[in-house]
Amino acid sequence: MYEAATIDGASRWKQVFHVTLPSIASTIMILLILKMGSLLSVGFEKIILLYNPAIYETADVISTFVYRKGLLEFNWSYSTAVGLFNASINFIMLLCANGFSRRWSENSLW
């Protein structure tokens, strides 16, 4: 396809936009869908290494909040609710990305 585009007079940029990107569009969309499912997850391990009460206001993310409420303060029901809410939002974003992919590129996970 690249040789045909070169013979037709396509420059490097036109080859990128008309040959390369359409060839890998389905892979790009599937990877986007898979990443949308974990968008709200951050590097929990990196934050928890330096976690102490002095930096709760600035360093608190959902994962560390669930850890602190559930395991340190023994408030398991509240911690479970926050973790379930986080998972639900991730799942809704995954469904939206899958629907967008199905409409835009006719590729989807299901």
Domain ranges, ordered by start, for the chain: 2-105
Which residue type, as a one-letter code, is found at position 73? Answer: E
pLDDT tens profile 68-84: 999 989 999 999 999 99
Predicted TM-score (pTM) of the model is 0.77
**Model pLDDT, residue 17:** 94
**Model pLDDT, residue 88:** 95
SS3 8: coil
Distance between CA 65 and CA 67 in Å, rounded? 5
Query: Has residue 48 got a pLDDT over 90?
Result: no
CATH code linked to domain 2-105: 1.10.3720.10
